[in-house]
């Protein structure tokens, strides 16, 4: 309201009241009421007075009308609202992020919280005399609602008291994101890039070529900063020489190179009788060119890993127990060490097929092989946390617990998610994963729905190692795009806020969707039952749409099932979403995607077209842009 609006209102009321009095007087003369009876000779005079009053009132309305109209700038047609509304500092739709370097994803700047976080880290370093340790506990195919800390646990028949305890004492991230499937997610953790940039678009199966070969990886960077790097468990980021763990930064790695079902499904007469009961086919699989064993990889042999036990239907039951003991032994070795460590513990569970040992069969209230596995994973995590405390490293160790993707819905029994979609899709159920970050005495217990991406793990870890913010770019070639953002301030500051304004979704070779705050715009996605109407459908068996009408936008707070588009009704939110989506498309032309391991497709995306068309598309984008300019 302008300063003179109240005065305008008072000035307008005077001629209006005078007009009202004149009309009332004229009306009484016409009716002959009271003392005005039989005084018709006064009518001409009354009409002149009324006309004058009307003119004054109309003039007053002309002058003051616009001022009065401005009083209802926020409300509805019945009048302005008196509700002031609320500002939520966690929401960034209106915020302009800043790229720390040309090849880095833009961040929302929080200088005060970054300062507080760095002061806490400096005080810890002075106390311990070394850099912080990092432990990543990565489960397989575990859904958002499997652990108790997200509403599962006891409620779904697999209690997770250890996870729940540490989640309640750490930062619980309800909007933490993986990629749609395991190998792309693991590569994103290791490279700080989303799948379009690191090039592992899907899991390599049965020894297929391709992987981390040539990438700048987190363990390699940490190793150069004095960290002891230990990997345990599932690898699944390439079996070719350049992609082996010892050639991508690990001092030691014990686990398997592929994925759980690759070792057992063809042995099982129930799951794959067409192989297990066919001598010729079974022999074909035994001789197939993939590693059939648990392996031990060290830099002493750059060419290959040493084979351990054959992974058959018996040993598969005991892998997670063996891997737990391996990690416990490593932590024991690090007791009293002056060097920091990085431990990457990637469980076998709970990827299909789950074969619980006698110790765990029926341990869960649900008594399914999947829920029995969840109970075991909770035990494994609890034992690792106990060991950290025992060796005196709990106060100097950042712990991240998460899952590599959402539940695998094609094969029951499986994980649970309250969201639409499953593993293999970019719907929330496929990529929003159970996650918390724990650091004794360093992270204030709280819950946040702000955005956190697997790509953020590398920049955050390197901040702890001495390369915060823009300094990280010094460690990468200028041609390498870093999709992750440094979240050290978010995690460590007492009431830290996320540095990530937006989140890019990918699926296979496609740029799929984008989220800012509670709004998500989708351009490519999967119709899970678009091909098969019967049986179990999920992220790998549906049809893919690559175009929409242009306004497929959901509000994830009011519609987490992503089945009602609100794009046309909420265009003020659609515009900044489109701006940011267009900006990232330009980044893909500037820093082109890689396709190391991908799916066969008849519909290549715009950034993977023939060079001539690609040049034309880039020229068009330079001239016309994509939506309103961004940043």
Residues 6+ positions from 564 with CB-CB distance below 8 Å: 554
491 lies in the same domain as 379: yes
Say how far apart CA 531 and CA 285 lie, in whole Å.
Answer: 30
Q: Is 99 contained in some domain?
A: no
Say how far apart CA 311 and CA 292 lie, in whole Å.
Answer: 6
Query: What pLDDT score was predicted for residue 466?
Result: 97
Query: What pLDDT score was predicted for residue 494?
Result: 96
Stretch 478-495: mean pLDDT: 98
Q: Is 85 contained in some domain?
A: no
Range with the lowest mean pLDDT among 42-46, 96-100, 229-233, 525-529? 42-46
Domain boundary among 72, 97, 121: 72
What is the pLDDT of the chain when averaged over all its residues? 90
Number of domains in the chain: 3
479 lies in the same domain as 521: no
262 lies in the same domain as 322: yes
546 lies in the same domain as 479: no
Res 2 pLDDT > 50: no
Query: What pLDDT score was predicted for residue 328?
Result: 98
The better pLDDT of the pair 377, 207 is held by 377
Range with the lowest mean pLDDT among 381-390, 532-541, 555-564, 583-592? 532-541
Res 61 pLDDT > 80: no
Q: Is 86 contained in some domain?
A: no
Give 182-219 pLDDT, tens digit per residue.
999 999 999 999 999 999 999 988 888 889 999 999 99
pLDDT band at residue 534 using 50, 70 and 90 as cut-offs: confident
Distances (CA, A) of 219 to 189, 235, 326, 469, 594: 10, 13, 18, 18, 21
Query: What pLDDT score was predicted for residue 538?
Result: 83
Distances (CA, A) of 223 to 133, 230, 445: 12, 10, 30
Say how far apart CA 426 and CA 420 lie, in whole Å.
Answer: 9
| Nearest CA among 405, 395, 401 for reference residue 382 | 401
Q: Is 558 contained in some domain?
A: yes
Residue 266 sits at φ, ψ, to 5 deg, of -75, -10
Res 68 pLDDT > 60: no
Structure tokens at 326: 């391996």
Stretch 552-559: mean pLDDT: 98
Res 574 pLDDT > 80: yes
Distances (CA, A) of 541 to 350, 407, 526, 529: 20, 14, 9, 8
520 within 8 A of 556, measured Cβ to Cβ = yes
125 lies in the same domain as 65: no
Q: Is 509 contained in some domain?
A: no
Query: What pLDDT score was predicted for residue 8?
Result: 46
Domain boundary among 472, 502, 532: 502
Query: What pLDDT score was predicted for residue 209?
Result: 83
Q: Is 481 contained in some domain?
A: yes
553 lies in the same domain as 408: no
Stretch 446-456: mean pLDDT: 98
396 within 8 A of 128, measured Cβ to Cβ = yes
568 lies in the same domain as 428: no
Query: What pLDDT score was predicted for residue 9?
Result: 46
Say how far apart CA 232 and CA 327 lie, in whole Å.
Answer: 7
Instruction: Write the DSSP assignment of 478-498 as a string of letters.
Output: TT--B-----HHHHHSTT---
Stretch 52-76: mean pLDDT: 63
Element at 137 (helix H, strand E): strand 133-139
Domain boundary among 453, 476, 502: 502
pTM of the prediction?
0.87
DSSP percent split of the chain into helix, strand, coil, nearest 5: 40, 15, 45
Range of the domain at 546: 516-624
258 lies in the same domain as 348: yes
Give 7-19 pLDDT, tens digit per residue.
444 444 555 566 5
DSSP code at position 132: P
pLDDT band at residue 296 using 50, 70 and 90 as cut-offs: very high
Question: pLDDT above 70 covers what percent of the chain?
Answer: 84
Say how far apart CA 59 and CA 47 lie, in whole Å.
Answer: 18
Strand arrangement, sheet containing 502-507 = 502-507, 510-516, 519-522, 553-555
Say how far apart CA 597 and CA 611 lie, in whole Å.
Answer: 21
The CATH number given to whatever domain includes residue 489 is 3.40.720.10
374 lies in the same domain as 445: yes
Say how far apart CA 522 and CA 548 lie, in whole Å.
Answer: 8
| Nearest CA among 501, 498, 503 for reference residue 486 | 498
Structure tokens at 624: 């016309």
Query: What pLDDT score was predicted for residue 305?
Result: 97
194 lies in the same domain as 259: yes
Q: Is 101 contained in some domain?
A: no
Say how far apart CA 389 and CA 440 lie, in whole Å.
Answer: 10
115 lies in the same domain as 21: no
Say how far apart CA 148 and CA 436 lie, in whole Å.
Answer: 12
Give 257-292 pLDDT, tens digit per residue.
999 999 999 999 999 999 999 999 999 999 999 999
Range with the lowest mean pLDDT among 50-59, 218-227, 592-601? 50-59
Q: Is 631 contained in some domain?
A: no
Chain centroid, CA 177 distance in Å: 3
Question: pLDDT above 90 covers what percent of the chain?
Answer: 79
Distances (CA, A) of 401 to 138, 262, 346, 395: 6, 25, 10, 17
Give 29-45 pLDDT, tens digit per residue.
555 565 555 555 555 56
488 lies in the same domain as 538: no
């Amino acid at each position: 309201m302008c300063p003179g609006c109240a005065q305008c209102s008072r000035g307008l009321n005077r001629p209006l009241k005078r007009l009202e009095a004149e009309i009332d007087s004229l009306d009484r003369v016409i009716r002959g009421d009271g003392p005005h009876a039989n005084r018709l000779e006064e009518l001409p005079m009354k009409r002149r007075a009324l006309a004058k009053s009307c003119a004054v009132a109309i003039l007053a309305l002309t002058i003051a009308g616009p001022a009065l109209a401005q009083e209802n700038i926020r409300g509805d047609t019945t009048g302005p609202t008196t509700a002031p509304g609320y500002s939520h500092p966690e929401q960034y739709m209106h915020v302009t992020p800043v790229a720390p370097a040309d090849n880095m994803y833009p961040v929302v700047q929080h200088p005060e919280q970054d300062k507080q976080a760095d002061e806490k880290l400096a005080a810890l370093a002075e106390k311990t005399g070394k850099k912080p340790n990092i432990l990543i506990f990565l489960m397989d195919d575990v859904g958002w609602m499997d652990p108790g800390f997200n509403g599962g646990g006891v409620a779904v028949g697999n209690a997770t008291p250890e996870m729940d305890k540490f989640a309640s004492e750490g930062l619980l991230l309800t909007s933490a994101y993986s990629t749609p499937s395991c190998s792309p997610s693991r590569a994103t953790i290791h490279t700080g890039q989303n799948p379009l940039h690191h090039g592992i678009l899907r899991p390599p199966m049965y020894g297929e070529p391709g992987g981390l070969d040539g990438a700048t990886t987190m363990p390699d960077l940490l190793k150069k900063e004095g960290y002891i790097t230990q990997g345990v468990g599932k690898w699944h980021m390439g079996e070719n020489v350049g992609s082996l763990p010892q050639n991508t930064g690990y001092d030691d790695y014990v686990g398997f190179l592929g994925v759980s079902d690759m070792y057992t499904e063809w042995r099982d007469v129930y799951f794959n009788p067409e192989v297990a009961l066919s001598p010729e086919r079974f022999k074909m699989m035994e001789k197939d060119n993939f590693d059939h064993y648990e392996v031990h990889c060290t830099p002493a042999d750059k060419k290959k890993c040493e084979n351990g036990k054959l992974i058959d239907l018996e040993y598969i039951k005991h892998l997670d127990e063996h891997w737990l003991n391996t990690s416990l032994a490593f932590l024991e070795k690090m007791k009293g060490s002056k060097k920091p460590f990085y431990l990457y513990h990637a469980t076998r569970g709970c990827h299909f097929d789950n074969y619980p040992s006698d110790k765990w069969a029926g341990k869960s209230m649900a008594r399914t092989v999947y829920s029995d596995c969840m109970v075991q994973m909770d035990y494994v995590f609890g034992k690792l946390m106990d060991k950290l405390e025992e060796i005196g490293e709990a106060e100097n160790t950042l712990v991240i617990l998460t899952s590599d993707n959402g539940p695998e819905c094609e094969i029951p029994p499986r994980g649970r998610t309250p969201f639409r979609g499953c593993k293999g899709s970019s719907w929330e159920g496929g990529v929003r994963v159970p996650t918390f970050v724990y650091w004794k005495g360093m992270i204030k217990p709280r819950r946040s729905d702000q955005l956190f991406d697997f790509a953020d793990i590398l920049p955050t870890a390197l901040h702890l190692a001495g390369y915060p913010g823009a300094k990280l770019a010094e460690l990468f070639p200028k041609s390498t795009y870093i999709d992750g953002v440094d979240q050290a301030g978010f995690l460590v500051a007492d009431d830290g806020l996320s540095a990530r304004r937006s989140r890019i979704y990918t699926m296979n070779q496609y740029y799929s969707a984008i989220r800012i705050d509670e709004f998500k715009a989708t351009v490519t996605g999967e119709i899970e039952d678009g091909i098969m109407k019967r049986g179990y459908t999920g992220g790998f068996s549906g049809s893919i749409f690559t175009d929409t009408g242009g306004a497929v936008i959901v509000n994830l707070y009011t519609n987490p099932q992503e089945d009602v588009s609100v794009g046309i009704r909420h265009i003020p939110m659609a515009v900044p979403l489109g701006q940011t989506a267009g900006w990232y498309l330009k980044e893909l032309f500037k820093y082109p995607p890689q396709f190391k391991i991908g799916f066969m497709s008849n519909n290549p995306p715009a950034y993977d077209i023939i060079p001539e068309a690609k040049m034309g598309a880039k020229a068009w984008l330079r001239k016309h842009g994509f939506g309103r300019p961004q940043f």
